[in-house]
Amino acid sequence: MAKPRDRRRVVVTGQGVVSAIGTGQEAFWNALKSGECGIGEATLYSTDELYITIDGEVKNFDARELGLSKQFLLSDRYSQFAGCAAVEAVNQSGLEMPLKGDEALRTACIIGSGIGGVTTMEMSYRMLFEEKKRATHPLTLLKTIGSSAAAHVSIEYGITGPCFGVVSACSTAPHSIGLVYQMIQSGLCDKGIGGASEASLNWGTAKAWQAMRVLSPDGLFPFCKGRNGTVLSEGAAILVLEEYEHARERGAKILAELVGFGMTSDAADMVNPSLEGTSTAMQLALDDAGLAPGDIDYINAHGTATTANDINETRAIRRVFGKAADDVSISATKSMHGHCLGAGGGVEAVGVIMAMEEGIVPPTIGFDEPDPECDLDYTPNKARKREITYAMSNSFAFGGLNAVLVFGPAPA
């Protein structure tokens, strides 16, 4: 493995986001720092036979009004979210698209989804088994597969390099971003699009999650004593990553540097998180970045508001950070935008980069009485001004699949 000083540096030059608290960076960030909540009563599907009736929906999303190309208009909602986020990220980056020749071949497009086009699949089953139709829509297969979003974006921008979808439940986005990061570091690519998208809010998904007894009927309240589960949400986030010299030579505005990435598997349990797995992922990300725990100013926590996860994440932070754990600012922004499943870590990464840019730590809203076993600074209820030089974003998924990103300032 190359030593850190020999690796190519990777920077962020564009980002795009679709979320329950806003589509586009400006709307998203304004809502995030203001502590707005996008969780409410479900409207995208019938809540008959459900006792969990809340979720985090992307409001007023219209792919046609947003100017997405025809290929996205014919795709599943999750691919449309990815297309919208990619357009914003690419436009911000200033890259000339579509790409051609060797430049196209040396660009990656890694966009994952935890579930893919599951709403299209549910509609198809209804057509076949309830409406007794003889066939489904002819594009059903293409709309459902988990690599559709990546393929659509690669077609849109002429990207002919590595292109595929990652599936790792709630760690999908940071795994996707981390893979692009490693491809650029190693010299395989000069730039790439990385992220994830999720649009799985439907009756069947809600019914399945409800059966696991991990959803809250009231809201998402991370690290609180009275927390009673997570809330399903939808959204997408895309980052444009580039090799530093490549970005500098074309005069791109650099938003941040991606300096560290760590990933582990608990290899223990499908549901209950492991202290060893989560803490090791954080330590590996710090080691990759060449940073000490005290260098981190802000952590965007996985913070799902499930009993086991919040306690485990708190213990993992204390294990890795030691005495520095009491000085780091932490927030769980899922309390506002909900749990976007595979897209969650990407949405949160956008929030981290914007927090670094403005020097504002977004809050954990709905925070009343803390759990005695969750004893860190979770930035309760109101955003706080703080200079943020280095920040960490945690994602810990079902199956014990852990991925951690560390961002630093744009190189001088």
**Gap between the Cα atoms of 156 and 163, Å rounded:** 13
Query: Mapping DSSP to helix (H, G, I), strand (E, B) and coil, where does residue 59 land?
Result: coil
E strand or H helix at 2, and its extent? none
**Gap between the Cα atoms of 167 and 16, Å rounded:** 20
Q: What is the pLDDT of residue 7?
A: 86
**Gap between the Cα atoms of 304 and 32, Å rounded:** 17
Instruction: Write out pLDDT tens, residues 255-274.
Output: 999 999 999 999 999 999 99
Contact indicator for 162, 186 with CB cutoff of 8 Å: no
pLDDT in tens, the chain (412 residues): 334 557 899 999 999 999 999 999 999 999 999 999 999 999 999 999 999 999 999 999 999 999 999 999 999 999 999 999 999 999 999 999 999 999 999 999 999 999 999 999 999 999 999 999 999 999 999 999 999 999 999 999 999 999 999 999 999 999 999 999 999 999 999 999 999 999 999 999 999 999 999 999 999 999 999 999 999 999 999 999 999 999 999 999 999 999 999 999 999 999 999 999 999 999 999 999 999 999 999 999 999 999 999 999 999 999 999 999 999 999 999 999 999 999 999 999 999 999 999 999 999 999 999 999 999 999 999 999 999 999 999 999 999 999 999 999 999 8
Closest CA to 365 of 340, 393, 332: 332
Length of the chain: 412
Task: Give the pair of three-digit tokens for residue 291.
Answer: 């940073």
HSE at residue 334, side-chain half, CA atoms within 13 A, is 35
* Counts for the chain of helices (H) and strands (E), in that order: 14, 15
Q: What is the pLDDT of residue 5?
A: 54
- DSSP-H helix ranges across 69-167: 70-73, 77-93, 101-105, 118-125, 140-144, 148-157
Question: Residue 206: is it exposed, middle or buried by C-beta count within 10 angstroms (0-12/13-18/19+)?
Answer: buried
pTM above 0.95, yes or no: yes
Catalytic residues: 170, 302, 339
Contact partners, residue 22, CB within 8 Å, separation at least 6: 28, 29, 30, 31, 38
Kindly report the number of other CB atoms within 10 A of residue 136's CB atom: 18
Domains in the chain, ordered, with CATH? Answer: 10-412 (3.40.47.10)
Closest CA to 52 of 161, 250, 228, 207: 207
Kindly report the number of other CB atoms within 10 A of residue 125's CB atom: 13
Strand (E) positions, 116-230? 163-164, 191-198
Instruction: Write out pLDDT tens, residues 32-79.
Output: 999 999 999 999 999 999 999 999 999 999 999 999 999 999 999 999
